[in-house]
Chains A and B, each alone.
Chain A
Amino acid sequence: MPKIHVEYFAILREHAGCGSEEVQTGARTAAELFRELDGRYRFPRLASLKVAINDEFRDWDASLSDGDSVVFIPPVAGG
């Protein structure tokens, strides 16, 4: 199964209890990977959530490849 590097920030980092992890997964898309990890960590329900793959914003139905780096992006609050 592909191995995906997942990084967590802010509220999701606190819920996951780690800043990053390697996930061996059968998930084919970013959405499937999130559902899998949400089942494990029970992330809080947020007003919005975006996803980045290899440091670029992507659609949730973007497919994953072995070695990809994925970040789930909770609502931002810069400034």
Chain B
Amino acid sequence: MSAFAFSRVALVPAELAESLRDDACGALVTFEGRVRNHNDGRSVERLEYEGYEALAVKEGERVVAEALDRFRITHARCVHRLGPLALGDLAVWVGASAHHRSEAFAACCYIIDAVKDRVPIWKKEFYAGGDSGWVNCQVRSA
């Protein structure tokens, strides 16, 4: 089980949660990032994720390793989808298990924040009007 992985097929939260099962852990905190039907005031119909996989997996594994180092958690992992996704689809799953809940909550937050900030993954949104755009890459004309 790798700490960070990509998937081109639908994620199954129950299976992912089970992979972190540990009878010494009383807490399993998970986060599900799902495809939202709006962004920045625009109506979103679908989206596509693209990843620089060779570096993204390394950076994602570093993020999870940092979480294991900073928080008193026992296990953690993150899986991110690639390719086309529909509204409501599960785009990213993060799980952290710990003896007690507070550290698992903190670690889960840390991982999703760092993944969004650092891991080379890009999201292209397709809007109701038929146009599309790469999130965070909009070019503002002066």
From the candidates A13, A52, A78, name the one contacting B80 in the complex (CB within 8 A). A78
How many whole Å from B7's CB to the nearest CB in chain A?
13
Secondary structure type dominating chain A contacts: loop
The answer to whether the Cβ of A40 comes within 8 Å of any Cβ in the partner chain is no
Contact size class for B?
A: 20 to 34
- Size of the chain A interface, CB-CB below 8 angstroms: 21
Contacts A73-B52, A79-B121 aside, 15 further interface pairs with beta carbons under 8 A come to A7-B52, A9-B50, A10-B137, A13-B50, A47-B136, A52-B52, A71-B52, A76-B116, A77-B123, A77-B134, A78-B116, A78-B119, A79-B91, A79-B115, A79-B116
Contact B58 A10 (CB under 8 A): no
Q: A9-B122, A10-B124, A55-B58 are in contact. Are A76 and B50 (CB under 8 A)?
A: no
